[in-house]
Structures are given as structure tokens and as C-alpha cells.
Chain A
Amino acid sequence: MAASCDSLLPLVLLLCLSAQAVDRSNFKTCDQSAFCKRQRELKPGQSPYRALLDTLELSNSRLSLQLINDNNKVRLLLELYRLQGNMTRVKINELKPLKPRYEVPDVLLSDPITEALSVVAQDENSLVVSLGGKDQRLILSAQPFRLDIVEGSQVVMSLNSRGLLAFEHLRTRKDTKSESEQAPGQENVEQQTDEDGQIKEDDDKPGMWEETFKSHTDSKPNGPTSISLDFSLPGVEHVYGIPEHADTLKLKNTDGSDPYRLYNLDVFQYELHNPMALYGAVPVLISHSTDRTMGIFWLNAAETWVDISSNTAGKTMFGKILDFVQVSSEAPQTDVRWMSESGIIDVFIMLGPKPADVFTQYASLTGTQSFPPLSALAYHQCRWNYNDQEDVKTVDQGFDEHDIPYDFIWLDIEHADGKRYFTWDPSKFPQPKEMLQGLMDKRRKLVAIVDPHIKVDSGYKIHNEIRSKNFYVKNKDGGDYEGWCWPGNAGYPDFTNPEMRTWWASQFAYDQYEGSMENQYIWNDMNEPSVFNGPEVTMHKDALHGVWEHRDVHNLYGLYVQKATADGLIQRSEGVQRPFVLTRAFFAGSQRYGAVWTGDNAAEWGHLKISIPMCLSLGLVGISFCGADVGGFFKHPSAELLVRWYQAGAYQPFFRAHAHIDTPRREPWLFGPENTALIREAIRQRYALLPYWYQLFYNAHRTGQPVMRPLWVEYPDDFATFSIEDEYLIGKDLLVHPVTDEGATGVTAYLPGKGEVWYDVHTFQKHDGDQSLYIPVTMSSIPVFQRGGSIICRKDRVRRSSSCMENDPYTLYVALGSQGSAEGELYIDDFHTFSFEEAKQFVHRRLSFSANTLSSRNLAPDSQFSTASWIEKIVIFGGSQPSSATLKSADGTESALEFEFDSTLAVLTLRKPGVNAAADWTIVLR
């Protein structure tokens, strides 16, 4: 969906006719964002903050003490917690703020479980706190204040070591001060005095009490409230995360540019390779070195900027080699500085030490990826817009005529009656249930869009109810906030209000949402929120959500929209069915509610290329269910680009083709029979691998491990993998190298792992790990490799939709490692309900091959599920020809299996074991 005033207002439209890319002037630079400018003017140096060690309070799990800023005498309260799972939480707030400062709710799963802290040493300027086992300690230095986390004799992370802790305390406005001092009951005035005397207010700087950007003025009734803190990471050269940016996987040094910005914005035709904010924000940064992987989770929902500075960043490759040879005097280090406009400092330091540990730690705080219904992992066909019921029917038939599978067809904003969501255009979609039933008969599904801007129209039930319940966000003067969006003048429900969310969820009930059925799911777009005529195309920061300003909650809005919608889908089925909701805006924790996509990209090779690091970055911070619009949203792709995008998209978690309303139609069969065949094949590869995707999502849901992984996650000691972003792993067993260059006749793939082997899944050819390999490519496919040592289950009988394949048999692809063994998992359940969780109705099996024996063993003996699926075929790569293959069933019966052996490729195929997929069995090769 397109998304900006530029495409709506004809006047603006005329002005941008020639604009090919983002109009940067619509969005703030750090210099134009007053607090960022103020904060960035502060240079590293000695911190004015001093810890008052005599205020130390230590309970079993909480350490607190006061900090004082010697320049202005304002006191802060520092709290330290040791959290279960090797994490440390650092909270800093004003000791006695004039009024409460915002603390982000609803993102943490619950209050994190704390562990005991103890002070192991103390002198007049420092405090040493034990962080539990593993020789980890936290050293607190009083003057200047800083924190160092050390393990043994090694510092792993320092806080405020560059003195950039800055906390703008709440203050009364100077020009109104005399007035307020005369007011009765102003006991607060003296709250922050002490033996050192009165608080000395900083001089007012521009933008502290009012800020104007373009034609919008932010009234800032609370004045300056920003916060900042620096983190130093000795030994670290690679940091990742803090999505969403259309940029490289490895974060860049921001010394000479703007910091990375986190502020959910609807950016029209975004540009690649810059730190501008996009639709979503996850304030989590991951650091990695061969020694250790760590994470910093900065829990703040206000506008945030992140500066990254690395002492090796400027060096050329030659310089780095030289350092390596000469043992550089200067150890590598990366410094990270976070700046937010309001709220408090609440930071979770995840100490790893392995990548998997960081993912587990972060998942324990904000939860794991929701487990989608299987069909959501299949192929989605979208377009702005499928015009009417007839169009939907024709496209549906088109897939059958061309024998291409798909599970979901999508309806964009034109389906609703005048962009009144929850309704249907009476002339284009007069019989939505008939349409949905037609899809259901084909075991397919539909997604309709429901955006959070509500048309202000007294004839619209949804609007009337929200208004009468007083659920709208308020403007600074207390009236309902209104802005322009697709329907024209619109109100924005206050999704931060739990009552509002409950009401919103209730609107998805079948008797409320007329025309909806159980095979209809929902898409939340424009939930940054997008306000065409608002500052930076979003909501005014002085708008009000109850007592809080929009400034405080901005980045959280989109998460709440998706949460309320997902809750609605769960409730409409009385808690039985798993929901599927796609969102454009997101925040830390959004993984719990569904899928995200990378917004309004374009039909350009660069956009195809960037989809990989964009989704990898999201996966690192918990959001596994990510995809980019296949084909590119804006503009018209060439047939080659479209085919390459299908091939890449088939190997990304969320696989949906989408197109702008002004582009020519591009259903898979519109580019000639050859391209139709290529696209069909790409989609079929996706369907065949659905069991593997499903098992990985189950794993992500259980453990928080990402589905789509950068190579370094699985090869953390291999420096060569640290910057790779043109290939990646799905789980740990498939390595994918999409083709993202026009006219490419080959790619250079890096196969990691010393002593490991990889098998090309298309040719079955075997390659050694730990090498870069030139792979010639044709248009027929992109390079995909299965790791030697893995077993992947596929359903090779590809049908019209994933539901049709429910009971189909599995083929096991056993890729032997250099030791001649392999392992894998198989997960099966009903594919769409919560029974797997609530009634333990699933099959989870361990498949292992070693010493010429392949067996299936139950990983979840207390679970129960019966499946009709069976084992159809077993393909073993890298083995030798046996003389016999014997199947031993659970009941002890033995039978001989037929097999074929291809000696040139060393591929052994076992014919039709025929055992049920949920059963115990063993196959012995002799």
C-alpha cells in the first residue's frame, strides 16, 4: 500500500511528479530534531554525574543508589537488576520528577525474574557487584559515574565510559515560573534541594519548549525531556540490529552522517542505504565478535537516535591486515550511543555469550514469534487492488489454470466502502461471504485490510462507537485528534487504552464484522500511524493518549494495533484458531502478534537485494516472520526481476507478491509461458519445503531462535561470515544465495564450516565448507545448499494450497556430514489451532542417521497427535551403496526396502518405507 500525502493530495502530487525517490525534506535530520541536535552537541568527555555511594540500597535482587549531576545538582535514581538468564537491567530515572515519566508498558512479557546480587567489594569511589556465576562482575565507579561489566579480567561492556549520560529533567517553564511559584501547594519547588543548594537550571536552548518543522509546530508543554547514554564494547567490530532501516546488515559507523533513527514513519518511496527511520522500530542492538555475542535492549518508545562509532571503521582492509600482523596497539572497539526524546533509561544488557543465548535472553523478555497457521507460510497473492468479486474469482481460477499453488488472496483498501474498514464496497463486493465460500471450497483464504485510521462520518458505525466511547486519541486541546488519511478526514483510536483494544478486538466477531468468515484474516497497514497532513506524515507529538503524550508512545502504536487485531481473531474463534495478522509498523515484542513486511519497496534490483539484510536484521531482534513485497510495490518489474524475486521470496519467511494500483497487472502467468513456468517452480519449491519452514517456526515460537539467520549466527567463530548479507541460512540447515543482479550468470557463494560439506539441492552436488565458490546460474533457480549432517523433511507432492497437502506423505532428505551422520526434526500438528499448546496435540520427532542406521524417535512423549501422513521416500546424499535396507517398525516387524543408488552423485533413494510419520521406526543399511 502506498502511503503518503503525495499520492493523495492532487496539489502535492503535481509538485512531486518528477520525484523518483523519497522526498527527504519531509523527514527530520538529527539537526532538525531539537533534542537530537542538543544531545549530539554533547561530546565525549568527563561525565558530570557522580554516584552517591552513601545512598546505596541493596535488597536481594535490586541495587539502587542516587546519581547527582554536579553541574545542575539534579539527582537521578539508578537501579540495577540481575535478571535470570545472564542479563543485567539498568534503569535510570529522575529521583523526584515533577511528574511521572513514561515507562513502556506491555512490551515485556512480565516482570523479568531477578536473581540475587551481592556487593563483593567497595571503596570510597567504587563498588563491585557480583553478577552471579561465571566470574562476572559489575564495577560501579562513583566519580565520574560509570559502569563496567567484566568477566575475569576482561571488560565486556562499559556504560557512560564516554560521559554521554545526559538526562534532561522535567522543569517548569521559565516565563511561567514566577506564576507557578505563587500558586499554592508548590512544595515540589524545594524537592530537589540539598546541602549543595538549589537546582541550577540549564539555559534554554532553541527547540526546548517549542519546535517547528515545516509547517508543524510541536507545543512541547513539558519542555526538554530527552535522555542519552553511551555503551562501549571493547573487542567488538560488528554490531547489528536496531531495525527498521533499508541498510546493510552490519551497522555502519555514523560519525560522518546522521545517527540511525528509530521513529515509525510512513516513508513514501524510501531510499536504500541510509539511516533514515522507516515503518517500524526495534531498539535492540546485537554485538558480535569471535569472543562473545551480546545485546542491548533500550526499552523506550519515543523518537530515538543511535550513534555507532567504531575505531576500526575507517581502516582499509590493508590497514586491518597490517594491524593483525603487527598486533595493533589499539584493540578494536565499538561505541554505541542511544538518545531518546522522552521517557526513562531502561536498558537490558544481554550478555550472551553465544548468539543463541542472546536470542533466548531477548525472547525471555519480550516473547517469541507467534506460531502462524501453516497456510500463512505458504504463498500470498496480493495487489492494490483486486477490483471486485469477479476479479478475485478470475485470479483464483488463473492459479488453477496455470497449476500454481497459492493459499491467500489479499484485498487492499479499495475493497471497503469508501475506506470504511470493516465494511465492503456494496457494488464491487456485494456478496463477500459468497466470495469467501468460493475460496474455502478451494481450501484457500483471504486477507482484508483494516487500517487504524477511522473515517470521520456520522453514518459509520465504527466511528460513532469510538467517538461515543471516547476512544479516539486527543489533540493537545483535548478534542478528538483528526488527520488526513485514505478516507479523508479520520480519527485515530487510542490503541494504548486497553478498553479500546478490547472493543476493537470485539469488532472482528463474525456477528460484528459483516461478511467476514473464518477463512478471512487481517492486514494492518498505516499504523505508524500515518497521517498525511501531520508532521513527518505522522501524528503530532503533543497529541494525547490519556495522560501521556504521543511523543512518549509513538513507536508503540503499531504494536498495539496488531495486538488488538490478533486478539480479535483469536476471540472470534473462541480461542481455538491461531490468528494471522500482517503489520507494517512494529516495535519490540511485535513478534508475538504476527508477521511484518518491509513496506512500500520498489521494483528495482537494489530493493530485491536489500530485502535480505532487512529481514535478517528483524530476525536478529525476534521478528522472524518477515518478507518484502515480491516484485516490488512501486513501478513495474522486468520479467527477469520478477522471476528472481519469486525465487528469492520463496526462501524468505513471509512470501507475498504485491503491487501498486498504478502498475500493470503482474499475476504469475502474465509474463509468457517460460516465465510462468519459472515462477511456478519457485512457488512449488516453497510448498515442498513447508514442513521445514513450519518446524522452524515452531522452534522460533518455542525458543526464540530466528528462522532466517545470518551465517555468523551458526558460524560465530568464522570472521569471514560477519559481514555477509547476500546469502543466509534458513534454520541452520539450508543456505540460500539469491540472485539479485540483472543478467547474472553466476554467483560467488561462501560455504562456511571447516570440515563440513554442503549439497546443492538442485543438482545434489557436494561441496566442501570453508570456501568461496563460483556457482553458475541459469534462470531456472537460485543456489540453495543443504548442510551435510542435516535431515530435512519435505512434501514433494505440491498441490493447490497447503491445506490440500495436509495428509500428504513426507520425503526425508538426509545429507550426510563428513562423519557420515545426520540429524533433523519433524513437527506435525493440525496446522491451524492452539491445540498444540493447549492440549499438547502434536508430533515432534528426532530423525537421526548414524552408523548406517536411520531412526525416528519421539521428542515429545507426553504429546499426542495422529496424522495420516507417512514416509514416502528417503533420499540420502553422500552415502555409499548398501547391499540391503531393512525397515524395523515399532511393532518389531521387519521388511526389506527397495532402493536405488546413483553412483555418480552418491545418492541413495529408499523406496516407500510407508511408515506413519508419527511412528517409531528404524532403517538399517548393510
Chain B
Amino acid sequence: MTCLHLLLTLVFAVSLGTPVEIQRPRGVPLTKKQFYEESKPFTCLDGSRTIPFDRVNDDYCDCKDGSDEPGTAACPNGSFHCTNAGYRPMFIPSSRINDGICDCCDTTDEYNSGAKCENTCKELGRKEREVLQKMAEITKEGFLLKQQLIEEAKKGQQEKQSKVTDMQENKKQLDEKVEALRTVKETAEQPEKEAKERHLKAWEEQKAAIRLEKDKAKMAETFLELDDNEDGFVSVSELQSHAELDPDADGTLTEIEAQGLMGGAEQVDTSTFESVWPKIKDKYHSEAEEPAPVETPPDEVKEPVVDNDSEPYPEDDISEEEDEDDEDEDDYHEDDDKVMCLCVVQAQPTIKTPEKTHEDEEAMPPYDADTQALIDAAQKARDDFEEAEKALREMDDQIRNIEKELSFDFGPDAEFTYLYSQCYELTTSEYIYRLCPFNRVSQKPKYGGSETNLGTWGSWSGPENNKYLLMKYEQGTGCWQGPNRSTTVKLTCGKETVVTSTSEPSRCEYLMEFTTPAVCQEPANIDPSPHDHVEL
């Protein structure tokens, strides 16, 4: 308004129930009253200039620091003091004077705007006292609880410490035991190994003899088969009927080639055939069998064939041979991408497998009693050793776990120790949130669905003067086009340990409020009533 001239006002304040009148310009705090003397020119508080006193609060900004207009909105950087008797005094930016919004509970900021403000200071003061009182009670009780927590933590810590010491002692003994058992085991295994090898060797020799017999029989059989005219000789021409024996693999077995195979002779009898046989036995196809469909040697078939044009093998073939080739198949899966599975199936079968099977069927004979006794003894030594080793590992784990726990920063007095390995839940309309302090935070839809990791324990991240007011959990499940989820847990003093709220202020950045006695400060030994009369 144009007429905001003299804005000196009478300020009525209540102090201890006694009204006191103190005259000073509007918006000036008592502490600065001395600079505003009506009888003298006013010097801006920054000393920049001096103006007649009637220009104080005349709704025009003369001082750069705004000090000439404490009671009007004229200066952009001014501030207005409201006494707020019954509540707390405060400063507001002078832009909030007469802006139609009630800022001061004593209504002094809206003296010319038409805003209908009510003095709410008493009410606010009462409420604040109540809140402060309640807070004080909570703090008091919480602090007591905190002392217990500290006690318990200290006790627990000592216990754990001594437990670790004990365990480390026990561990030494276990170490020794393991070493002793290892020696026993190794001693028992040596004779076992030798006996087993003997047994195996005997069996191998036996197998070789049998194989020789078989070869001879096969050779004789072949001779008879080749000797078409049954004259007791295999001739060059008779041999030529077996094109598969062609040494240069050009498809035909020429006379010269056949002769070559026969060591230059025109024909061979049964005894000279013995020298021909080794040259042909690998290639030879019995006339009783069907000719092999593919020439590929069996070893090559086992290579991963990535030839999509080749005919898939008949299904029944595959099923027949699947069992024996299980191992091969598994190897493939480990080495190759899953997209290769089609090719793997194609590569499986081998031609010679059925024959191999026959040989393998001749099982090794059982061990003799002496060998078996050695084996049993060694097995027992092994079992004993492994059991001891397992016990040692478990002991190690236990020690490590306790040491890990001891290594956490559980606060200056270890007051946060009790939160370790606990979890606290909060259910909202959509989710169940779960905070496991020093471990992780997660979120799970209330009506089914999988759990989302909102962050794993990172660090204390409160302000420098008290880092134990905030916990940071990081590197949770990633967000689309965004960061990994993370959670900040804000700790406030409370009697109970409970998650009071969760929110997601920014995409994938969660905020959890958590009360615990562990952050309750020692109550200051002062009157909790508001400082409503400090300056009067």
C-alpha cells in the first residue's frame, strides 16, 4: 500500500504471565533494538549509509543490507522478526510480510494484507511442549535401553572374543589331528594301490590273450570268406572284390594294389595270409554285414559337426546310443553355447560303438580277498581323514563368521550390535519391506511375486558429526535405464526397534525410517519448556 509510513508498533509480549511493553520498529528483534533509535538518524547495519530515521520501515529500500526495512517487504534481502509470544520467536524473509499468508503464529507478519490470521502461538507452544515432553520421555527411556544394549553388546563381544580364542585353540588341535589322519590314510593307500594295479595287470594280460584268439579266428574266417573258389588260396582277383581295402582311396582296388597288399604274391595260402591280415583287417568289411553307409572314421564323427545339411540320424539310433554317450554330451553342454544343442544331437552317434560295447561287457573279475582287505582298510583311513577335515572347515567357518561380526562398525559403544542378524519388516498397501541391518534391504509384493533386492549393506553415511544416523545399502537389483537400487535408512530415537515408513523419493532410491533406542542421546538435563521469553 502507498501509505505504509510509520510502522513503529507497540509489541505486547507475555513473559511469565506479566505483560511487558517494549517499543521498537516493526520486525526488529530485541537484540538489535539498540540500533534503531527514533531520535537519531539510522545507519544501515552494514554501515553503508545513514538515513533519516523516518525512512526506517517507510516501505522503500535504502540500505543494501535491507536493515532499514525490517518490517516491510521493500528489501529483497531483509528479514522480519516475530516474537511469537507463547511459542518460539523466529525470523522470516521480509518477502513474506503482507503476502496474504500467515507465517508468524502471532500474526504480526500480516498487518496490512487483509489476511485473516489467528494467533496460534499458545496452541503451538502447548503442542510443542507436549511433543518435547513426549520426546524427552522417549529419549529418556530409549537412552536407558541403549545403556542395556551397550552392556549386552560389550558382554556379547567379550564372549565372542573369548569364544574365538577358544576356538582357535581347538582349531590347532584339530589341525594336528587332520595331519595325523592324513598320514594314516596315505600309509594305508600305498599297499591298496599296489594290490589294485597287480589285479588290473593280470586282467589286462588275460584280455590280450583272448583278443589274439579272436583275431586269429577272424583271420581264418576272412580267409574262408575271401577264398571264393575254395581252392585254399586267396587270389589277387578274390581280394579285388573288396574295394574298401583300396589303399589310395580312389574307389577301386587295382590289381597292382591288391598284389601290393599280398606282398607281391599272386595268391596266398592260410599261413602267408597271416602277413596280409594286419594290412587289411581295419578296413575289411565282412561280406555277411551290410556295407557301412559312411566312410568317416569313428573318431572324426565325435568332433562337433556343425553341418546343418547333413541328414539327421534316425531317432532310434540316437536313443540306442544315448546312454553310452552321456558323458560326451555333458561335455558339450559345458563348452558350447546352448544354441549348439541341435548340432550336439547330430554329432552324438558313432558307428563303432556297438562293437566296443561287446568288449566292455567283459567285466573285470572281483578282487581277491587280500586285495579287498587292503582296500577296506584304506577306505576307513580316508573316511576318518575326511571327517576330521570337515570338522576343521566348519570350525574355520565359525571363526570367520564371528570375526566378521566383530569387524562390523556397530557404533562407538557397539550399541547397534543387537541389530546384527535380525530382520525387521514393514507391510504397506502393496509391498512387504524387509530390513536386515548390516546385511540387506528387500521388497516383496504383498500378493505374490519375487523379492527385489533394494541394496546390500554399504556403510554408515550420516553427517560428519554423527555418521550413525544414516545407513546406506547399495548395489541392489538394477533398474531399467537407471541405477542399481539403493536404500538409505534413517535412524531416529525410539523405544522400539521398528521400521516406521518407507518411500521411493526418486526412482530406485529408497528411503526407510527406522527407530531404535541405539541412537537415543543422553537427555540434556534442562527444562524442556519452550524458550518463549528468552529475549524479554
Per-position 1/0 for A14-42, Cβ under 8 A of B: 00010000000000000000000000000
Indicate if the CB atoms of B482 and A797 lie closer than 8 Å: no
Determine the distance from Cα of A403 to Cα of B93 in the docked complex, in whole angstroms: 8
Nearest residue (CB) in B for A807 is: B1
> In chain A, residues 460-480, which have Cβ atoms closer than 8 Å to a Cβ of chain B?
none
The A788-819 residues at the B interface (CB cut-off 8 A) are 796-800, 803-808
Please judge, given known A-B contacts A387-B505, A662-B507, whether A800 and B481 are in contact too, CB under 8 Å. Answer: no
Picked from A403, A661, A665, A873, the residue with its CB within 8 Å of the CB of B505 is: A665
A24 to chain B, nearest CB (A): 20
Question: A55-83 CB contact bits vs B (8 Å, 1 = yes)?
Answer: 00000000000000000000000000000
Residues of the A chain whose Cβ atoms lie less than 8 Å from the Cβ of B93: 403
Alpha-carbon separation in the docked complex, A799 to B506 (Å) = 28
Q: Which residue of A lies closest to B94 (CB)?
A: A797
- In the assembled complex, which residues on chain B have CB atoms less than 8 Å from the CB atom of A13? 480
A845 to B1, CA, bound (A): 20
CB distance from A526 to the nearest CB of B (A): 20
For A796, what are the chain B residues with a Cβ–Cβ distance below 8 Å? 76
User: Is A832's CB within 8 Å of the partner chain B?
Assistant: no
A661 to B509, CA, bound (A): 12
Q: How far is the CA of A441 from the CA of B117 in the complex (A)?
A: 11
CB pair A800–B506 under 8 Å, yes or no, is no
Let me know if A797 and B74 touch, CB within 8 A: yes
Q: What 1/0 mask marks residues of chain A from 384 to 402 whose CB sits below 8 Å from any chain B CB?
A: 0001001100000000000
B479 close to A (CB within 8 Å): yes
Taking a contact as CB atoms under 8 Å apart, the answer to whether A797 and B73 are in contact is yes
A805 and B99 CA atoms in complex are apart in Å by 7
B183 at the binding interface (Cβ < 8 Å):
no
Chain A residues closer than 8 Å to B482, beta-carbon distance? 662-663
Question: By the criterion CB–CB under 8 Å, are A427 and B429 in contact?
Answer: yes
The answer on a CB contact under 8 Å between B507 and A911 is: no
Which chain A residues lie closer than 8 Å to B113 at the CB level? 807
CB distance from B240 to the nearest CB of A (A): 65
Interface check A121, CB cutoff 8 A: no
Q: How far is the CB of B309 from chain A (nearest CB, A)?
A: 31
Which of A427, A441, A662 is the most central at the interface, judged by chain B CB atoms within 10 Å of its CB? A662
Write out the residue numbers on chain A whose beta carbons fall within 8 Å of the beta carbon of B480: 13, 17, 662
Contact B99 A665 (CB under 8 A): no
Say whether chain A's binding surface is mostly helix, strand, loop, or mixed: loop
- In the complex, chain B residues whose CB is within 8 Å of the CB of A663: 482, 506-507
Given A391-B505, A914-B2; A800-B74 close (CB under 8 Å):
no
Asked if A172 is at the interface (CB within 8 A of a chain B CB), the reply is no
Asked if A868 is an interface residue, CB under 8 A from chain B, the answer is yes
* CB nearest to A801 among chain B residues: B99
Q: Which residues of B contact A911 (CB under 8 A)?
A: 60
Nearest-neighbor residue (CB-CB) of B482 within chain A: A662
CA distance A914 to B58 in the complex (A): 11
Q: In whole angstroms, what is the CA distance A868 to B1 when docked?
A: 6
Given contacts A911-B60, A916-B2, contact A800 B101 (CB under 8 A): yes
> Is there contact, CB below 8 Å, between A803 and B100?
yes
A799 near B73 (CB under 8 angstroms)? yes
Please tell me if B286 contacts chain A, counting CB pairs below 8 Å.
Answer: no
* Residues of chain B within 8 A of A872, CB atoms compared: 60, 74
Known: A387-B503, A665-B505. A800 touches B1 (CB 8 A): no
Contacts of B99 in A (CB 8 A): 443, 799-800, 804-805
Checking B2, B101, B507 against A661 with a beta-carbon cut-off of 8 angstroms, the contacting residue is B507
Please name all residues of chain B whose beta carbon is closer than 8 Å to the beta carbon of A914 when the two chains form the complex: 2
**What are the interface flags for B1-26 relative to A under an 8 Å C-beta threshold, 1 for contact and 0 otherwise?**
11000000000000000000000000
Partner of B101, one of A390, A391, A804, A915: A804
Q: Which chain A residue lies CB-closest to B75?
A: A797
- Cα separation A666 to B99 with both chains bound (whole Å): 28
Contact A804 B100 (CB under 8 A): yes
Check B506–A665 contact: CB distance below 8 A.
yes
A220 within 8 A of B: no
* Cβ-based interface call for A912 (8 A): yes
A546 contacts the other chain (CB 8 A): no
Is A664 located at the chain interface by the 8 A CB criterion?
A: yes
How far does the alpha carbon of A390 sit from the alpha carbon of B428 in the complex, in Å? 15
B461 at the interface (CB under 8 A from A): no
Which residues of B388-409 have CB atoms within 8 Å of chain A's CB atoms?
none
Q: Smallest CB–CB gap between A329 and chain B, Å? A: 57
Q: Does B324 contact A (CB under 8 A)?
A: no
> Nearest B residue to A664 by beta-carbon distance?
B506
> A427-B429, A662-B480, A804-B100 given as contacts; is B95 within 8 A of A797 (CB)?
yes
Distance in angstroms between the alpha carbons of A443 and B99 in the assembled complex: 9
Inter-chain contacts of A671 with B (CB < 8 A): none
Give B504 Cβ to nearest chain A Cβ, in Å: 7
Is A715 an interface residue when CB atoms closer than 8 A count as contact? Answer: no
- Give residues of chain B (255-304) contacting chain A, Cβ–Cβ below 8 Å: none
**How long is the Cα–Cα vector from A805 to B73 in the complex, in angstroms?**
10
A209 at the interface (CB under 8 A from B): no
- Are B95 and A664 touching (Cβ within 8 A)? no
What distance in Å separates the Cβ of A813 from its nearest Cβ neighbour in chain B?
16
- B96 CB-CB contact with A under 8 Å: yes
Distance of A799 Cα from B504 Cα, bound (Å): 31
Q: Which residues of B contact A442 (CB under 8 A)?
A: 101
Whether B509 pairs with A443 at a CB distance below 8 angstroms is no
Q: Distance in Å from the Cβ of B55 to the closest Cβ of chain A?
A: 9
How far, in whole Å, are A873 and B73 apart by their CA atoms in the complex?
Answer: 14
Nearest CB to that of B508 among chain A residues? A662
Query: How distant is B91 from chain A, measured CB to nearest CB, in Å?
Result: 12
Q: Which residues of A contact B479 (CB under 8 A)?
A: 662
User: Does the CB pair A443–B100 fall under 8 Å?
Assistant: yes
Rounded to whole angstroms, the CA-CA distance of A873 and B481 in the bound complex is 52
Chain B window 41-75, contacts with chain A (Cβ cutoff 8 Å), 1 for yes, 0 for no? 00000000000000000101000000000000110
From 77 to 96 in chain B, residues with beta carbon under 8 angstroms from any chain A beta carbon are: 93, 95-96
Residue A870 is within 8 A (CB to CB) of chain B in the complex = yes
User: In the bound complex, what is the Cα–Cα distance between A441 and B110 (angstroms)?
Assistant: 14
Asked whether, in the complex, the Cβ of B1 is within 8 Å of the Cβ of A808, the reply is: no
Query: In the complex, which of the residues A427, A443, A799, A806 contacts B95, with contact meaning CB atoms closer than 8 Å?
Result: A799
Docked pose: A481 CA to B314 CA in angstroms: 53
Distance (whole angstroms) from the CB of A677 to the closest CB of chain B? 12
Residues on B with C-beta less than 8 A from A443 are 99-101
**A864-899 at interface with B (beta carbon < 8 Å):** 868, 870, 872-873
Q: A665-B506, A914-B2 are in contact. Are A798 and B100 (CB under 8 A)?
A: no
Q: How far is the CA of A305 from the CA of B65 in the complex (A)?
A: 60
- When distances are taken between beta carbons in the complex, the residues of chain B under 8 Å from A662 are 479-482, 507-508
Binding site for A on B (CB under 8 A): 1-2, 58, 60, 73-74, 76, 93, 95-96, 99-101, 113, 429, 479-483, 503-509
Give 8 CB contacts A-B under 8 Å.
A662-B479, A662-B480, A797-B73, A797-B95, A800-B96, A873-B60, A912-B60, A914-B2
Q: A664-B509, A797-B95 are in contact. List 14 more A-B contacts (CB 8 A).
A: A427-B429, A442-B101, A662-B479, A662-B480, A662-B481, A662-B507, A664-B483, A798-B76, A803-B100, A804-B99, A870-B1, A873-B60, A911-B60, A912-B60
Closest 5 CB pairs of A and B: A804-B99, A665-B506, A912-B60, A799-B95, A870-B2
Q: Which residues of A contact B (CB under 8 A)?
A: 13, 17, 387, 390-391, 403, 427, 441-443, 661-665, 796-800, 803-808, 868, 870, 872-873, 911-912, 914-916
